């Protein structure tokens, strides 16, 4: 058990819809990272938050947004969903900012999103 | 663009065999992390190597960071069915605003 909790585990929805994925980081971790994993693209970094502030952006689409709340949990919002958004979405957390060292990341078990 | 290439992409072996998987790049990394991911779960960190030429052992797993810090290998001795999974390497960039660059992984199946 990594200590990172993601909900829901599975989500099935239709094209054009909007969903919210939730992540609670490991106790004491201030950084939250979001990733998308698909068979052909592998693990793609989306965005990183540290203590409520956005730190880095990766390959995140404009239709996607995220935020980290004062209690450090984070939400990833996906809107105008397309078939190609079907994937596993992982949240990971680490202790520090990750800006000055590459700290190990602790992953949740992911949310499997299926777009019909 | 920094890329990490992992090879082979797929590997299927019998229990008891030895194997090596590779993680290669043309870029220099400040550190290299190896993770294992099992179906239905998130990746789990196995090891971090930070010094060129560094070798770390974790039971039957031996990790090596290349002298130039551009590549890494993972060697498994006497593989067991419990070693089955997706092995991912992630290179840490240097300088400010560091991030991890991920490989696509090697999918290992160890058959009884």
For every one of its 116 residues, what pLDDT tens digit does chain A have, with 9 covering 90 and above? 889 999 999 999 999 999 999 999 999 999 999 999 987 778 898 999 999 999 888 889 999 999 999 999 999 999 999 999 999 999 999 987 665 556 788 999 999 999 99
Interface of A with B (CB under 8 A): 2, 4, 42-45, 48, 55-56, 58, 90, 92, 98-102, 104-110
Put simply, the chain B residues between 68 and 107 with a CB less than 8 A from any chain A CB are 88, 92-93, 96-100, 102-105
- List the helix and strand counts (H, then E) for chain B: 0, 11
Residue B96 has pLDDT above 80, yes or no: no
Q: Mean pLDDT across the stretch B5-33? A: 95
Task: Check pLDDT > 90 for residue B39.
Answer: no
Q: What is the rounded (10 degree) CA torsion for A103, B10, B42, A77?
A: 100
Choose the mutation target among A36, A39, A41, A43 for the interface with B, i.e. most B CBs under 10 Å: A43
Is A107:A40 a contact under the CB 8 Å cutoff? no
**CB A13: neighbour CB atoms within 10 A?**
16
């Amino acid at each position: 058990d990594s200590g990172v909790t993601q909900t829901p585990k599975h989500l099935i929805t239709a094209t054009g819809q909007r969903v919210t994925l939730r992540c609670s980081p490991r106790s004491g971790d201030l950084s939250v990272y979001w990733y998308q994993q698909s068979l052909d693209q592998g693990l793609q970094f989306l965005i990183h938050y540290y203590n409520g502030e956005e730190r880095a952006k990766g390959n995140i689409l404009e239709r996607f947004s995220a935020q980290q709340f004062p209690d450090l949990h984070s939400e990833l919002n996906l809107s105008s969903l397309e078939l190609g958004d079907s994937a596993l979405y992982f949240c990971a957390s680490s202790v520090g900012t990750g800006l000055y060292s590459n700290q190990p990341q602790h992953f949740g078990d992911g949310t499997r999103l299926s777009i019909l | 663009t920094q890329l990490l290439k992992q090879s082979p992409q797929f590997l299927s072996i019998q229990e008891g065999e030895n194997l090596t998987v590779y993680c290669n790049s043309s870029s220099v990394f400040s550190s290299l992390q190896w993770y294992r991911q099992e179906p239905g779960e998130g990746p789990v960190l196995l090891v971090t190597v930070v010094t060129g030429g560094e070798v770390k052992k974790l039971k039957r797993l031996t990790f090596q960071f290349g002298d130039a810090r551009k590549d890494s290998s993972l060697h498994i001795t006497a593989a067991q069915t419990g070693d089955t999974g997706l092995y991912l390497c992630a290179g840490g960039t240097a300088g400010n605003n560091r991030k991890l660059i991920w490989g696509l992984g090697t999918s290992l199946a160890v058959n009884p």
